[in-house]
Structure 1
Amino acid sequence: MITRPANSVIVLDFETTGLSPNQGDRAIEIGAVKLQNGMVVDTFQALMNPGFKISRFIEDYTGISNELLIDAASCETVMDRFADFIQGSNLVAHNASFDKRFLDAELTLINREYTGEFACSMLIARRLYQQAPNHTLGSLVDFNKIENDGVFHRALADSEMTAKLWLTILEDIHTRYFLANPTFKLLQQISKKSKSNVHAFLQNGSHR
């Protein structure tokens, strides 16, 4: 694992043709926000042509039309650039298992790898915000009163919102448990704790 604080990460989000790369689904958009010491220092956004027409459902859900994708660069071209963008950083996504599947599948197709590890803001939020009505990105943004423009299901907009949620999580950990600079490893550990044990884990200080 790359040893870096949790406030220096790349937050990413994919829009895709479906739910599973194992079933032939491909990425159609990638958005990412690079955070260093809690500040946005760079972004990445690109549509990508999967090589086939996307369904009307995906067009309606994402707002990405087949017409928009006709002139987009191929998945291979975009993902080669994105592989360069993420090198040397740990990664965050909301429902990270989904985004990791597509990242791994797309990079495997072009024989590229990445060096960072993933943390999931949704799993962490389930443990820290147990009183939230649910743990979708939009609901957590509302629950934490995070400023937003109401745009969801586009990759850069969702990665920007996830980055704001991630920084809110870090601030709440600081406020509640006096941890000013939590490590990325600690955030990964939180995501794996049971809901009933996470409070004691953060209070006891054994992870410091």
Structure 2
Amino acid sequence: MRNEMHVAFDVETTGLNYSTGHRIIEIGAVLISNGSILGQFSSLINPNKKISRNAQKIHKIKEEMLMDQPRPEEVYPKFEDFIKYSTLVAHNAPFDMAFLRQEFHLLHLDLNHPYVCTLDLSRRRFPHLANHKLSTVHRHLFGNQQNNFQAHRALDDARMVAAIWLAMEG
């Protein structure tokens, strides 16, 4: 696995369900190869959609923060280039992948990348943990080193996913 390219990524959204019109408003990603981080990608995205109160409480992203941010059609072609030939890695990957697939579909882009879910890996590897939240798994592996991370912001969550992936599989 060390010679493959992986991209650990995370998204923040306007709500929990892409099928009811919720959209991605932030994407963060870290490129991993040979056990090293080679680059990162991060963008707020203005999908011109309301952000649910519950989502705002989680990620603290307000609609005003998105006003002057790039539109999806500006961000996703660049992200597509960033993830080229990579296996994607996410914590609760089915959620992130569903949103990302929908965004790519809306722009007629293909997303056929294989993916790995660190949530599933952690449940198998650490069944004794009280829960398998991203912060819990990171704390289990690294102690309290996550104090430099801002939880529920895409790039910092992607960095945590990358660290977990490298510790478990990289």
What are the equivalent positions in structure 2 for 1:142-181 lying under 5 Å apart? Answer: 142-146=139-143, 147-148=145-146, 149-170=148-169
Q: Using structure 2 for the length normalisation, give the TM-score.
A: 0.92
Cα drift, residue 150 of structure 1: 4.5
AA matched with 2:84: Q
AA matched with 2:140: F
Does 2:80 align with 1:83? Answer: yes
Deviations 1:16-70 (A, max 9, x none): 0111111101000000000010111010000001112213332221121111100
> Is the partner of 2:70 in helix, strand or coil?
coil
Task: Find the aligned partners of 2:154 and 2:32 in 1 and give their Cα distance.
Answer: 16
> Is the partner of 1:126 in helix, strand or coil?
helix
Which runs of no fewer than 5 residues in structure 1 stay unpaired? 172-208
Contact in 1 for aligned 2:2/2:35 (Cα 8 Å): no
Deviations 1:133-161 (A, max 9, x none): 21110111111125212421000000000
User: Which moves more between the two structures, 27-36 or 78-87?
Assistant: 78-87
Q: CA RMSD in A?
A: 1.6
Q: 1:150 to 1:73 in 2, by over 3 A?
A: closer
Using CA pairs below 8 Å that are at least 6 residues apart, which structure has the higher relative contact order?
Answer: 2
Contact in 1 for aligned 2:26/2:43 (Cα 8 Å): yes
Cα drift, residue 77 of structure 1: 1.6
Which runs of no fewer than 5 residues in structure 2 stay unpaired? none
Aligned residues: 168
Task: Find the aligned partners of 1:109 and 1:150 in 2 and give their Cα distance.
Answer: 31
What are the equivalent positions in structure 2 for 1:26-175 lying under 5 Å apart? Answer: 26-146=23-143, 147-148=145-146, 149-170=148-169
Task: Find the aligned partners of 2:41 and 2:82 in 1 and give their Cα distance.
Answer: 8
AA matched with 1:72: Q
Q: Using structure 1 for the length normalisation, give the TM-score.
A: 0.76
AA matched with 1:109: L
Q: 1:6 to 1:57 in 2, by over 3 A?
A: farther
User: Which moves more between the two structures, 32-41 or 78-87?
Assistant: 78-87
> Is the partner of 1:144 in helix, strand or coil?
helix
Q: How much identity, in percent, do the aligned residues show?
A: 37
Q: 1:39 to 1:5 in 2, by over 3 A?
A: closer
